[in-house]
């Protein structure tokens, strides 16, 4: 009986991302991103992985900061029992000035360059083929078919960065699952898409994107993780191997986009409570640990004027990092305002006439514009700064 082989699959770590949107908190996110990589190294040790498959975009830049390269080399080199395979992606192509070519890597790290190469585990009967980007684009598919074909006596894996179903249309190594199945791969470890794809199947070929272990912003939210796979040959059985695959979440920080309804809140203390409650409901016990974009919505109580400058100190120090976006609405009693003997009263009376006329004529678009104009006008009369975007339609 052959020895089972355990692999961990990741990709799209984008180490060295600037996180410029976070301003002076960017170094915190840089640290959190590196922590996710460290968690993967620790996971490899825990599950005693035979190999760590990195499906491209390990680095965010083609020529990353040398200190970062050294850190990554040290961490990968610490995996004494794990062979690391890297197939460079479009962000970290193995170009002539790439650290993949210019630096010397630990003995347990193997980097796939521009030709299809393979690494064998004879005691498990497993063979991993791989090929990397050498430029930031690869409109012509990378070579994934060995000239001699695949040996069906082996379990054949493929490690590559590319875009599925992009045939002809993608500049990022367009891949076609039907072709991968025709070549005869048993499993294809993919990188490029930043969300876990689930385990997909085309005939005998299983394939999956693990997604990134740490997002790069609020468009990459949700639970992040790696794929852990175990392969074992089953000689004599109809299916030549047992393949066990699972998605394993990486704990730690993540990006969380949460909207919080402040309807009914009477003051800033209640608003801060509502935010904490919503985050707890979304992320459980770990709610203070994440990078949160908190969008405040709802209709505020008539005499509660929300100020982010007042709200922020009430959350200070309780959350790893957050950004507040105010989309609340301040309801107004127009009939009361219309009775005022003031510029505001005159403005509201005229607006009410215009609104009534648009309603009578069934002009929905005018109604929307007039309603928005009234909100902005009242905000301006309160002395608030008024900004608006013109409707591109
Ligand atoms: Mn990527």
pLDDT exceeds 80 at position 174: yes
pLDDT digit string, tens, across residues 218-250: 999 888 999 999 999 988 777 788 999 999 999
Is the overall model pTM greater than 0.75, yes or no? yes
Q: N- to C-terminal Cα distance for the chain?
A: 67
Question: What is the whole-number distance in angstroms between the Cα of residue 335 and the centre of ligand 1?
Answer: 55
SS3 state of residue 289:
helix
Q: What are phi and psi of 344, to 5 degrees?
A: -65, -40
Please write the tens of the pLDDT for every residue from 104-155.
999 999 999 999 999 999 999 999 999 999 999 999 899 999 999 999 999 9
Q: Which CATH superfamily groups domain 5-249?
A: Metallo-dependent phosphatases (3.60.21.10)
Tens of pLDDT, residue by residue over 79-97, are: 999 999 999 999 999 999 9
Distinct helix (H) and strand (E) counts, the chain: 9, 17
Residues 172 and 166 sit within 8 Å (Cβ to Cβ): yes
d(CA 207, CA 190): 7
Ligand 1 mean position to 293 CA, how many Å? Answer: 22
The pLDDT of residue 302 is above 80:
no
pLDDT at position 56 is 98
Report helix angle 66-77 to 26-46, nearest 10: 20
H-state helical runs in 89-128: 99-102
Handedness of CA 211, 215, 218, 223 (dihedral sign): positive
What's the 57 CA to ligand 1 centre distance in angstroms? 5
Buried b (16+ CB within 10 A) or exposed e, 167-184: eeebebbbbbbeebbebe
Q: For 67-76, what is each residue's pLDDT tens digit?
A: 999 999 999 9
Q: Is-contact 5 49, C-beta < 8 A?
A: no
Ligand 1: centre distance to CA 291 (Å): 20
> Please, is 250 exposed, middle or buried when counting C-beta atoms within 10 Å of its C-beta (0-12, 13-18, 19+)?
buried
Residue 393 has a pLDDT of: 47
Residue 150 CB partners (closer than 8 Å, separation 6+): 156, 183, 184, 185
Measure 224 CA to ligand 1 centroid, in angstroms: 14
Alpha carbon of 118 to ligand 1 centroid (Å)? 23
Task: Please check whether residue 63 is in contact with residue 98, taking contact to mean a CB–CB distance below 8 angstroms.
Answer: yes
Residue 173 C-alpha to ligand 1 middle, in angstroms?
A: 13
Q: How far is the CA of 155 from the centre of ligand 1 (A)?
A: 27
Q: Which of 43, 40, 31 is nearest to 68 (CA)?
A: 31
Compute the distance from residue 264 Cα to the ligand 1 centre, in Å: 42
Question: Distance from the CA of 34 to the center of ligand 1, in angstroms?
Answer: 16
193 C-alpha to center of ligand 1: Å? 6
For residue 14, report the distance from its CA to the centre of ligand 1, in Å. 7
C-alpha of residue 217 to centroid of ligand 1, in Å: 13
Contacts of 154 (CB under 8 A, 6+ apart): 120, 125, 126, 127
Q: Is a pLDDT exceeding 60 seen at residue 390?
A: yes
**How far apart are the CA of 192 and the centre of ligand 1, in A?**
5
Which two three-digit tokens encode residue 318? 């309780």
> CA 225, CA 248: separation in Å to the nearest integer?
5
**Ion ligand 1 neighbours, Cβ < 5 Å:** 12, 57
Report CA(342)–ligand 1 centroid distance (Å): 58
**Residues pairing with 329 in the sheet:** 299
């Amino acid at each position: 009986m052959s020895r089972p082989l355990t692999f961990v699959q990741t990709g799209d770590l984008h180490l060295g991302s600037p996180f410029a949107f976070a301003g002076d908190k960017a170094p915190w996110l840089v640290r959190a991103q590196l922590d996710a990589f460290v968690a993967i190294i620790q996971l490899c040790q825990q599950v005693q992985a035979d190999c760590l498959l990195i499906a491209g975009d390990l680095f965010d830049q083609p020529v990353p900061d040398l200190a970062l390269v050294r850190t990554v080399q040290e961490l990968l080199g610490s995996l004494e029992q794990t062979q690391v395979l890297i197939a460079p992606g479009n962000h970290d192509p193995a170009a002539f000035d790439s650290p993949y070519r210019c630096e010397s890597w630990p003995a347990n790290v193997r980097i796939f360059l521009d030709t299809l190469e393979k690494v064998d585990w004879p005691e498990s009967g497993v063979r991993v083929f791989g090929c990397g980007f050498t430029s930031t684009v690869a409109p012509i598919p990378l070579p994934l078919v060995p000239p001699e074909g695949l040996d069906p006596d082996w379990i054949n894996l493929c490690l590559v960065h590319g875009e599925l179903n992009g045939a002809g249309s993608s500049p990022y190594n367009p891949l076609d699952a039907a072709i991968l199945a025709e070549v005869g791969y048993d499993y294809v470890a993919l990188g490029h898409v930043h969300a876990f794809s689930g385990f997909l199947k085309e005939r005998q070929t299983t394939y999956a994107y693990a997604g990134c272990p740490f997002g790069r912003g609020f468009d990459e939210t949700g639970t992040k993780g790696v794929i852990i796979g175990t392969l074992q040959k089953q000689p004599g059985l109809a299916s030549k191997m047992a393949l066990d695959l699972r998605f394993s979440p990486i704990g730690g920080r993540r990006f969380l986009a949460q909207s919080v309804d402040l309807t009914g809140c009477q003051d800033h203390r209640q608003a801060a409570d509502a935010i904490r409650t919503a985050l707890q409901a979304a992320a459980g016990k770990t709610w203070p640990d994440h990078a949160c974009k908190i969008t405040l919505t709802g209709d505020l109580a008539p005499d509660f004027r929300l100020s982010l400058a007042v709200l922020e100190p009430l959350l200070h120090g309780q959350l790893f990092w957050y950004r507040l976006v105010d989309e609340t609405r301040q309801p107004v009693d127009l009939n009361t305002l219309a009775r005022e003997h003031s510029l505001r009263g005159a403005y509201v009376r005229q607006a009410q006439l215009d609104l009534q006329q648009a309603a009578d004529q069934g002009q929905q678009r005018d109604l929307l514009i007039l309603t928005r104009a009234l909100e902005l006008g009242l905000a301006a009369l309160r002395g608030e700064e008024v900004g608006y975007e013109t409707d591109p339609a």
